[in-house]
Amino acid sequence: MRGTPETLDSQPLDRHTLERVGTVIAVHLNYPSRCAQRGRTPDQPSYFLKPASSLALSGATVERPAGTELLAFEGEVALVLGEPVHRVTPEQGWAAVAAVTAANDWGLYDMRTPDKGSNVRNKGGAGFTPLGPALIPAAGIDPAGLRVRTWVNGQIAQDDTTETLLFGFGRLIADLSQWLTLEAGDVILTGTPAGSSVAQPGDRVEVEVSTLDGAHATGRLLSVVTAGTVAANPAYGSTPTVTDEQRIEAWGSAEAAGLAPRQQQQPEANAPALSPDLRRRLEAVATATLSSQLRKRGLNNVSIDGLRCTRDGAKVVGTARTLRYVPGREDLFTQHGDGYNAQKRIVDDLHDGDVLVMEARGEKGAGTLGDILALRAQVAGAAAIITDGGVRDAAVVAELDMPTFYATAHPAVLGRRHVPWDTDVAVACGGTTVVPGDIIVADADGILVIPPALAEDLVEACLQQEHEETFIYAQVEAGHPVDGLFPLNAAWRTQYDVWAAENPRKL
């Protein structure tokens, strides 16, 4: 597809032109309707690359690999550059576009966890970037006057226009050209509107781009979904994983995915959902493993230290809610401590799976809660209470099923040293910072604070590490020395791969 705009104007998108496509760059979020669906709106554009081997023509099949379920379509406007550009303005960027066409940015959500941030495998499969079937010359059309529609088995699924894009076509090219040299024939996928969802084997998915007046159109770009028969080999690398959150994002809504509405899974508006699947996998790994993987990601100060637990061996996985105490001052306690104060309000507002984390500054000269409030938290479904201060009624609190982590027992009420000040703010507890919505994981080794954005990638790495360590443990038990075995050198890695093929991970 490298060539002059004049060549592109008269050339249909056929196999010969497709083979000359250069780099394929895709935009993450660009349509307000899609941003509203995802619940986030970016300040600046962000991108990922797609391999040329993913390109296909209209009518091609797209395979949903064996062992996967979340192959999703994304109808888009594709820009085809007609000349090289480097450090251009938005006006110059649009002028360099030779043609626009329809694209379907297929993606496999089952591989988003191992590919988080790169999209190499989940977006790079054969046939995952069909283009065509015809090119609309860019000269004379309004980039803000295009319409993109997607049909699934003849039923409209996506219908939006480029009038309200967050980042116009020229701006995308200007931004990219600050850092890259774009060549004639390069293709830029400009984002998908709301309505993207999951396709099933046998589905016929069509995408069309047209001008708003209907004078120019690409025709319908057809993809036919087929079912693959070859599953991924776990001995070679990551295998597909599916969570409820991925199902929601792939299908477009919890209802479409056949799950409970999102608000039922996520009672706190500002807290990311801790899905049942993610919770189950986090419960299966040790904090020691989580700590080592967090360290590999540059996070060392993520443990809440120096506390004891009322329940020996308790395993806790939950979402942080926070309460901050400030040092005691009589006048401030009168204003903030009496009546239905911040402490009582947040305990009454706890939900299933919440972990109440209290900032008490390590002060051990007073309690931060007692048996009544601890019982209320348990009845509300809280997973645990964590305070780096004291606990009153310690014997009764220890009898509750809900674990409480605390620094010491103390008989005094909180007014002796503390004023309950505010809730659901960043707090300091046990030497680290806890932000509302952080994921808390605790076991006999201690308490860890996990940033939600890392959780999926982190737990996958931990499960893999523990699978390897199961093999290593067996070898040590059989009498092998640890040199070269822990960690695995190349020779032992080969033996592990054979063992792993015969003993696949259960999660």
Residue positions in the annotated binding site?
370-373, 392-393
Q: Residue type for 116, please?
A: K
CA distances from 316 to 58, 66, 392, 443 (A): 51, 35, 22, 6
Q: Which residues are annotated as a binding site for substrate?
A: 370-373, 392
| CA–CA distance, 238 with 500 (Å, rounded to integer) | 12
Q: Is the dihedral of CA 123, 125, 131, 133 positive or negative?
A: negative
Residue 43, token pair as written in the block: 């300040």
Residue 315, token pair as written in the block: 């395993």
Angle, helices 244-251 vs 276-283, to 10°: value is 150
Contact of 136 with 43, CB cutoff 8 Å: no
DSSP 377: H
| CA–CA distance, 347 with 354 (Å, rounded to integer) | 10
Q: Bridge partners of 129?
A: 55
Place of tokens 């949903």: 64
Angle, helices 455-477 vs 287-296, to 10°: value is 120
- Other residues' Cβ atoms within 10 Å of the Cβ of residue 212: 15
Contact of 284 with 507, CB cutoff 8 Å: yes
Give the CA-trace dihedral at 241, 246, 248, 252, to 10 degrees: -120
Which are the contacts of 405, defined by CB distance < 8 A and separation ≥ 6?
Answer: 304, 307, 308, 309, 310, 384, 385, 386, 387, 442, 447
- DSSP string of 60-95, one letter each residue: EEEEE-TT---EE--EEEEEEESS-BSS--HHHHHH
Place of tokens 């006999």: 444
Q: Which residues are annotated as a binding site for Mg(2+)?
A: 393
Among candidate residues 99, 93, 192, the one with its CA nearest the CA of residue 149:
192
Place of tokens 């308490």: 447
Residue 367, token pair as written in the block: 């309690």
Q: Residue type for 123, please?
A: K
CA distances from 436 to 268, 353, 405 (A): 9, 13, 18
Contact of 99 with 216, CB cutoff 8 Å: no
